[in-house]
């Protein structure tokens, strides 16, 4: 009897906010879709990111997704909205830790993507915000990109008029920032 192997046997799951949900740009040009084009079978990319999502929303979505599906790699890109809304950082740390734990219970590898807040949030809050990601990555021993918008954020040519969201030209740069750490997870 002929056995048929599914074309996509492994899943990269992206759970994020507007930075991964193609906010105000053509979805086909988003860094997540460019990732979809770069990876090859047996890998598929599933994106459950949505504009406005906080770490609370992300935890709920990830819990639902993983209860019904398997993911081999989980990319967590959340926290910007928590920071912009001034939500308690202990909640962000707890939620990120729970998301990492859920993924690891399923034997998924995790890549944590952090971003920086605008300077008007003040150096103390920003330092504490950045430390959350370092603490979660260290505690759970997961890969971290401390600024996945490196080379993009703050460059008016690469940002939308709101100054918060990368434009279409920035998307390949974002993918190239994420790719080396992700490629390590894909190869191991």
Task: Indicate the SS3 state at residue 12.
Answer: strand
Do 63 and 100 contact (CB within 8 A), yes or no? Answer: no
Instruction: Tell me whether residue 18 is one of the annotated catalytic residues.
Output: yes
Instruction: Tell me whether residue 23 is one of the annotated catalytic residues.
Output: no
Q: Within 13 A of 97's CA, how many CA atoms are on the CB side? A: 13
Distance, CA of 125 to CA of 93 (rounded, Å): 14
Distance, CA of 109 to CA of 125 (rounded, Å): 29
- Which position among 17, 18, 53, 72 bears the catalytic label? 18
Beta partners for residue 74, in sequence order: 13, 110
Rounded to the nearest 5°, which phi and psi values hold at 83? -65, -45
Whose tokens are 């950082």? That residue is: 89
How far from the centroid of its chain's Cα atoms is residue 73's Cα?
Answer: 11
- Which position among 20, 23, 72, 165 bears the catalytic label? 165
**3-state helix, strand and coil shares in percent for the chain, rounded to the nearest 5:** 45, 15, 40
Instruction: Tell me whether residue 67 is one of the annotated catalytic residues.
Output: no
Q: Catalytic residues, which ones? A: 18, 162, 165
């Amino acid at each position: 009897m002929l056995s048929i192997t599914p074309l996509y046997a492994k899943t990269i799951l992206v759970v994020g906010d507007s930075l991964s949900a193609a906010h105000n740009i053509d979805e086909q040009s988003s860094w997540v879709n460019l990732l979809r084009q770069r990876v090859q079978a047996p890998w598929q990319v599933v994106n459950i990111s949505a504009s406005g999502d906080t770490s609370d929303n992300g935890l709920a979505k990830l819990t639902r997704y993983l209860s019904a599906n398997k993911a081999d790699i989980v990319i967590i890109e959340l926290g910007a909205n928590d920071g912009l809304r001034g939500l308690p950082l202990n909640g962000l740390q707890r939620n990120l830790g729970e998301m990492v734990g859920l993924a690891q219970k399923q034997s998924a590898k995790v890549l944590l993507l952090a971003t920086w807040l605008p300077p008007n949030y003040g150096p103390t809050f920003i330092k504490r915000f950045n430390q959350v990601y370092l603490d979660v990555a260290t505690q759970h021993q997961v890969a971290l990109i401390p600024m996945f918008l490196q080379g993009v954020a703050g460059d008016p040519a690469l940002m939308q008029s709101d100054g918060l969201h990368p434009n279409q030209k920035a998307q390949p740069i974002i993918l190239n920032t994420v790719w080396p750490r992700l490629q390590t997870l894909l190869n191991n």
